[in-house]
Amino acid sequence: MNPLCVFWFRRDLRLEDNHGLYLALKSGLTILPIFIFDERILRELPARDARVAFIRNRVKELPGVRVFTGEPVKVWANLFKNHNIKAVFCNEDYEPYAIERDRKVAALACAAGAAFHTIKDQVIFAKNEIVKDNGEPYRVFTPYSRAWLRKLNPQSLKPFKSGTAKPAPPINKVLIRNYEKQRNRMDLDATSHLGIHLRFGTVSIRKIAQAAKSLSPTFLKELIWRDFFMQTLFHFPHTVNEPFNPKYKNIRWRNNKSEFKKWCEGKTGYPIVDAGMRELNATGFMHNRARMITASFLTKHLLIDWRWGERDFAKKLLDFELASNVGNWQWVAGCGCDAAPYFRVFNPALQAKKFDPSGKYVKKWVPEAGTSQYPKPMVDHEFARRRALTEFHRALRTGPA
Ligand code: FAD
């Protein structure tokens, strides 16, 4: 049998500047490119999930890729049985489930006498590349980002010549230049919408970071947050389900189901909260500022567990990315790595005034706001704020150290 090198596409669905693919090509062996739809993940998604459709379309555009559906470990067992595989290359994934899956596939490869290589591609710095002097991972963003910037050099952003660019999303230079001034404005379409492309690797992080570096330090900082949350998840995998700060386990969430439903449906009676949720429900996208406002409302005003909100976003966001979703939810709830202080409770009306000054965002998504058709606020802001502060304060005083 012809000796093969398998390149396993996962969250790197592009030919251009693909580090793992570049190294696979350098192996000199015949390449078999593959993609596996993981049955376990598909089972949990609706039949017409837009993200799966996005992946299907992108995979179709990659030439010669063999597509499988099944449990990855079983698919691999068959591949090793039926082919003479000498090497496997794929790009690293830092999620706990993916790490475990890769460990099993690496064991199969080893048994079949094939080399298994996982390569850094989806972040600029991974794992232990940015750690404190004592070798521990950073828990606070600002020193992490300073260390990240110190370590950045032209080599870190150099593209790998792995193929030519298929229609990659355009990098809108004007948008990035204006990013700092406009990024919080919900009434302007002033953010990049690159989330889904970075999530599935249809654009290279090095390419985006290179543009950010020359055009906008603020935009670059957002990309550093992305790296930060990925390394946090890598070092602290329990944070997928547990608060980073254990004291927060003690919070007595109210978890009222009918209130949660109103929040999910965008019927809270707070126009800016409802606008965010309705944008998400209708498009699979929500502006970052609205994500912060809606998440704060759920965890503080309604005292509903951040994990409920995180799961709802995970179901709906086209750019859902476990590390960023969990990291940001915990950040807003106050229980995460380098979290916003728990006593920061967004005032929805003030947020709307500041970041939707023209009212265009609310008008677009909640046209009935201000009419008799629109529900009254489901909870009084000041009452809810005090209730949240009392509970957070109690939990932190009595929680485990
Ligand atoms: P831009 O503002 O144009 O930013 C460019 C890129 O930088 C983004 O695509 C993203 O990759 C990265 N980025 C920007 N802000 C952040 C951030 N705060 N944390 C990490 N990366 C960031 N982002 C996700 O990619 N997936 C998620 O599941 C996700 N869930 C979130 C949940 C909550 C509660 C909050 C408050 C934020 C969440 N974010 C998430 C971060 C952020 O809201 C989105 O990355 C951003 O809104 C995507 O739109 P954009 O591509 O236009 O972003």
Complete DSSP assignment for 365-400: H-TTTTSTTSPPPSS-HHHHHHHHHHHHHHHHHHS-
Supply the pLDDT for residue 166: 65
| Tens digits of residue pLDDT in 330-359 | 999 998 887 778 888 999 999 999 999 999
CA 134 to chain centroid, in Å, comes to 28
- Distance CA(85)–CA(258), nearest Å, equals 54
* 355-367: average pLDDT: 98
Residue 40 tokens, joined: 């376990």
In a mutational test of the pocket of ligand 1, which residue from 288, 293, 316 has the highest number of ligand atoms less than 8 Å from its CB? 288
User: With DSSP H G I counted as helix, E B as strand and the rest as coil, what are the percentages for the chain, rounded to 5?
Assistant: 55, 10, 40
Indicate if ligand 1 lies below 6 Å from the C-beta of 325: yes
342 in Cβ contact with 334 (< 8 Å):
yes
Tell me what the pLDDT averaged over the chain comes to.
95
Supply the pLDDT for residue 270: 98
- Distance CA(269)–CA(272), nearest Å, equals 9
Indicate if ligand 1 lies below 6 Å from the C-beta of 236: no
Beta bridge partners of 33: 7
- Distance CA(118)–CA(94), nearest Å, equals 11
Question: Sorting pLDDT into bands at 50, 70 and 90, what band is 131?
Answer: very high
Indicate if ligand 1 lies below 6 Å from the C-beta of 208: no
| Tens digits of residue pLDDT in 234-293 | 999 999 999 998 889 999 999 999 999 999 999 999 999 999 999 999 999 999 999 999
In three-state secondary structure terms, 33 is strand
Question: Sorting pLDDT into bands at 50, 70 and 90, what band is 200?
Answer: very high
User: Which protein residue's CA is at the shortest distance from atom 16 of ligand 1?
Assistant: 222
Supply the pLDDT for residue 399: 58
Q: Say whether pLDDT at 401 is over 60.
A: no
In a mutational test of the pocket of ligand 1, which residue from 328, 337, 346, 351 has the highest number of ligand atoms less than 8 Å from its CB? 328
Supply the pLDDT for residue 29: 97
| Rg for the chain, CA atoms, rounded | 22
Angle at alpha carbon of residue 98, lines to 86 and 65, rounded to 5°: 50
User: Among the listed ranges 8-22, 70-84, 142-156, 387-401, which one has the minimum average pLDDT value?
Assistant: 387-401
User: Which protein residue's CA is at the shortest distance from atom 2 of ligand 1?
Assistant: 191
| Tens digits of residue pLDDT in 38-79 | 999 999 999 899 999 999 999 999 999 999 999 999 999 999
Point out the ligand 1 atom lying closest to the alpha carbon of residue 309: 34
Indicate if ligand 1 lies below 6 Å from the C-beta of 295: yes
Supply the pLDDT for residue 400: 61
Beta bridge partners of 137: 131
User: Which protein residue's CA is at the shortest distance from atom 43 of ligand 1?
Assistant: 288
Indicate if ligand 1 lies below 6 Å from the C-beta of 297: no
Supply the pLDDT for residue 397: 87
| Tens digits of residue pLDDT in 312-327 | 999 999 999 999 999 9
Ligand 1 centroid–CA 186 distance in Å is 14
User: Which protein residue's CA is at the shortest distance from atom 11 of ligand 1?
Assistant: 195
The owner of tokens 């230079």 is 173
Sequence-distant (6+) residues with CB within 8 A of 57 are none
Ligand 1 centroid–CA 346 distance in Å is 19
Indicate if ligand 1 lies below 6 Å from the C-beta of 319: yes
Q: Which of 355, 329, 359, 321 is nearest to 190 (CA)?
A: 355
Beta bridge partners of 250: none
User: Which protein residue's CA is at the shortest distance from atom 37 of ligand 1?
Assistant: 328
Question: Sorting pLDDT into bands at 50, 70 and 90, what band is 371?
Answer: very high
Point out the ligand 1 atom lying closest to the alpha carbon of residue 317: 28
- Distance CA(4)–CA(155), nearest Å, equals 30
Q: Which of 110, 204, 226, 93 is nearest to 157 (CA)?
A: 204
Ligand 1 centroid–CA 73 distance in Å is 31
Supply the pLDDT for residue 167: 64
Q: Say whether pLDDT at 165 is over 90.
A: no
Share of the chain above pLDDT 90, in %: 92
